[in-house]
């Protein structure tokens, strides 16, 4: 075998780094880079130095990520299994725990894409780090719990997983964009499962306050990152905004206008994504529907109730007018 073990390991490192760069850029050749790095590392005396199997595990896991991206999910699972097996032979450390959490989580996503929900659930569960020791472990464990909250069927268990995920990243959300994204996704899962009460026709109870509080937290967090030039959180935030609009419109229409303006008016809330079409469209539909619903209730209810409905309609129309003003081009 040409070259020393050290030289061959350095060559594999180069290929792995290049593969990561190519994969991140969506370029071809990443899979070949990882496979060649794996081939080289399999020639190394893996028992002599833990850095050799550590690098080998990276090759297998990165190879799995590329295969999953290309829709080759079964092959990806096999590749993740190889990487996990290598990591299992290393002394347990924080770095090993973190890489295992990533591998188990990505393996679960591949299994989920294959429709193997039970196996995916088990894989996500293995990605949870018990008693995380640092921020990286907390983040990886939170990601795993968000995945679990999405795939478990039991509603209470799903809510518990989402709440635990949120608790893990709450203190990290203003420091790390991935932590913020994970926190938003945890709130999305939590609120979605809580809103099953709405689907069941329940109009009272603690679930309404829990949903609206988490939605408003999420929008504040998204605006925090918007002011720092980060727009990648908008998609999840927009989903939460739509959910909040529905809960307020159906359960608490007297608060709907305030919710819309707090979320959309940059004079009230710096960083508000008022120009985003998904936010604009959702707000416009919710306001118009609420105005129509209120007018209908005002016609058929007693006089004093009708006056209350008219007052609510007034706030909704004012909010609608303010959004229209924001969308007019400046002169």
| pLDDT per position as a tens digit, 147-166 | 999 999 899 999 999 999 99
Are 204 and 306 found together in one domain?
yes
CATH number for the domain harbouring residue 83? 1.25.40.10
Are 203 and 326 found together in one domain?
yes
In a domain, 244, yes or no: yes
Contact 16, 55 (CB under 8 A): yes
Are 189 and 238 found together in one domain?
no
Tokens 């999305």 locate to 188
Q: Which residues contact 23 (CB under 8 A, 6 or more apart)?
A: 30, 62, 65, 66, 69
Note the pLDDT of residue 303.
53
**Dihedral sign of CA atoms 210, 215, 216, 218 in order:** positive
- Of 93, 127, 161, the residue at which a domain comes to its end is 127
Are 213 and 299 found together in one domain?
yes
Note the pLDDT of residue 300.
46
Contact 224, 174 (CB under 8 A): yes
Report CA 300 to chain centroid distance, whole Å.
43
Are 299 and 325 found together in one domain?
yes
- Of 70, 97, 127, the residue at which a domain comes to its end is 127
Q: Which residues contact 200 (CB under 8 A, 6 or more apart)?
A: none
Are 271 and 249 found together in one domain?
yes
Token pair of 90, please?
């290393």
> Could you count the other beta carbons within 10 Å of the beta carbon of residue 80?
28
Contact 295, 287 (CB under 8 A): no
Are 147 and 232 found together in one domain?
no
- Of 84, 104, 127, the residue at which a domain comes to its end is 127
| pTM of the predicted model as reported, rounded to 2 decimal places | 0.86
Contact 187, 215 (CB under 8 A): yes
**Residues in the chain where the model's pLDDT stays below 70:** 1-2, 202-205, 296-306, 329-331
Q: Could you give the C-alpha distances from 158 to 150, 186, 234, in angstroms and in order?
A: 7, 10, 24
In a domain, 132, yes or no: no
For 256, the domain range is: 199-331
CA distance linking residue 103 with residue 106, whole number of Å: 5
Q: Which residues contact 170 (CB under 8 A, 6 or more apart)?
A: 183
Are 254 and 297 found together in one domain?
yes
In a domain, 133, yes or no: no
Are 187 and 289 found together in one domain?
no
Are 6 and 80 found together in one domain?
yes
Task: Write the pLDDT tens digit of every residue in 23-81.
Answer: 999 899 999 999 999 999 999 999 999 999 999 999 999 999 999 999 999 999 999 99
User: What's the domain count of the chain?
Assistant: 3
Are 188 and 220 found together in one domain?
no
Are 210 and 297 found together in one domain?
yes
């Amino acid at each position: 075998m040409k070259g020393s073990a050290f030289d061959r390991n350095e060559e594999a490192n180069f290929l792995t780094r290049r593969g990561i760069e190519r994969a991140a850029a969506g370029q071809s050749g990443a899979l070949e880079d990882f496979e060649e790095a794996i081939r080289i590392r399999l020639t190394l005396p893996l028992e002599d130095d833990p850095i050799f199997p550590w690098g080998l595990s990276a090759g297998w896991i990165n190879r799995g990520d590329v295969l999953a991206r290309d829709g080759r999910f079964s092959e990806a699972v096999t590749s993740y299994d190889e990487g996990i097996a290598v990591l299992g032979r290393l002394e347990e450390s924080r770095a090993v725990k973190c890489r295992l959490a990533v591998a188990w989580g990505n393996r679960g996503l591949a299994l989920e894409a294959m429709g193997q929900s039970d196996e995916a659930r088990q894989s996500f569960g293995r990605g949870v780090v018990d008693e995380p020791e640092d921020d990286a472990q907390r983040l990886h464990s939170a990601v795993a719990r968000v995945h679990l909250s999405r795939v478990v069927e039991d509603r209470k268990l799903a809510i518990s997983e989402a709440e635990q995920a949120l608790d893990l990243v709450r203190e990290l959300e203003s420091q790390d964009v991935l932590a913020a994204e994970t926190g938003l996704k945890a709130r999305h899962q939590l609120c979605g499962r809580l809103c099953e009460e709405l689907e069941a026709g329940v109009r009272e109870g603690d679930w309404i306050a829990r949903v609206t509080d988490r939605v408003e937290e999420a929008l504040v967090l998204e605006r925090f990152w918007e002011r720092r030039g980060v727009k990648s959180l908008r998609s999840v935030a927009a989903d939460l905004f739509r959910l909040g609009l529905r809960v307020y419109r159906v359960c608490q229409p007297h608060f709907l206008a305030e919710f819309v303006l707090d979320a959309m008016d940059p004079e009230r809330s710096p960083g508000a994504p008022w120009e985003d079409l998904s936010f604009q469209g959702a707000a416009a539909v919710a306001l118009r529907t609420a105005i129509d619903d209120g007018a209908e209730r005002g016609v058929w209810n007693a006089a004093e109730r009708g006056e209350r409905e008219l007052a609510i309609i007034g706030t909704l129309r004012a909010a609608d007018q303010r959004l229209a003003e924001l969308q007019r081009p400046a002169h």
